[in-house]
Structure 1
Amino acid sequence: MPLQVSTAVGGFDRFAKQASDVASRAWFFTFCVLLVVLWAPSFFILKDLDTWQLIINTCTTIITFLMVALIQNSQSRAEDALQHKLNAIAQGLSDLMEHIADVTDEPARKLADDLDEDLAQLRAAVGLERYESSSDNRER
């Protein structure tokens, strides 16, 4: 649960977050457009169509390859965080249902039986028996 979630963030995770923050800014897009605008007239300097195209193709391929890795890392961390939050909410609801179900008087026993069934369905649906931790599933 939330206490079992590691708060340690690895170096690559910190780098990926910072790179993602930079790449999502308008000025970064403007910088990319500027690079293309500067690259386009370089044909007159290089005077070789193959070299001219190779430069832009190589640059965009490398940047795309690296950005995909960074985006995947950011997406995985976001999904892990969401799963931990859902597990915490479900555990809290489960604990509340158990607390309410611990009723000793007979009129409330019917409610407790219904809550026991709801609790079993909640645990089956969410899978609280096996907590998924990002540190257990992949190296960070």
Structure 2
Amino acid sequence: MSTKSLSPSSSFFASFAESITKFSGSTMAFSGALALVIVWAAVGPVFHYSETWQLVINTGTTIITFLMVFLIQRAQNKDSLVLHLKLNELIAATKGASNRLINAQDFTENEINLIHQYYCLLAEKAKLDNDLGQTHSVEEAEENHAEKLSAHRD
């Protein structure tokens, strides 16, 4: 979905939020915030360290923190979605990879735990292979393990 398919206000907000997020992580933003705190501390004696003087910094930092939480979460959601899309592409394009894991982020916690148990089993079976370079799907690992067991018994 491109920004062209978004409404003009959504597109503007997306662009604005991305710009603020990038700027807030910059050296210039940190330097500006540090300078603001230094100026605030320097004018403390002028205002006799009054409650109003303290309220100015407390209110300002609270408002900025409140808004930044939402911008950071928005950026994190976007980054997470992009990462999931890339992983989904790799799974879909890799022969032998289980397509059941595409969109795994939408699974329930129980489904995720079940799949985790399968991968723990896969890891245990891989240890038994003594070949750390070998990779398997869970099904392949179970077949390989069964074949090895029957070969050792014969």
Matched, 1:85 2:61: no
Change (3 A) 1:67 1:127: closer
User: How many Å separate the matches in 2 of 1:64 and 1:46?
Assistant: 25
1:16-74 CA-partner distances (Å, limit 9, x unpaired)? 21111111111111111100110012222323521111011000001111111111111
User: How many Å separate the matches in 1 of 2:87 and 2:49?
Assistant: 57
Q: Unaligned regions of 5+ residues in structure 2, if any? A: 107-154
Matched, 1:7 2:8: no
| SS across alignment from 1:68 | helix
Amino acid at match of 1:7: S
Contact in 1 for aligned 2:92/2:102 (Cα 8 Å)? no
For residues 16-35 of structure 1, the aligned pairs below 5 Å read 16-35=17-36
| SS across alignment from 1:46 | coil
For the aligned residue pairs, the C-alpha RMSD in angstroms reads 2.1
Q: Unaligned regions of 5+ residues in structure 1, if any? A: 1-5, 98-117, 131-140
Contact in 2 for aligned 1:20/1:74 (Cα 8 Å)? yes
User: How many Å separate the matches in 2 of 1:7 and 1:79?
Assistant: 17
**Structure 2 counterpart of 1:126, from 102, 110, 113:** 102
TM-score with structure 2 length normalisation? 0.57
- RCO greater where, 1 or 2, for CA within 8 Å and sep 6 or more? 1
Partner of 1:42: 43
Amino acid at match of 2:47: L
User: How many Å separate the matches in 2 of 1:87 and 1:30?
Assistant: 39
Partner of 1:115: none
| SS across alignment from 2:2 | coil
For residues 54-65 of structure 1, the aligned pairs below 5 Å read 54-65=55-66
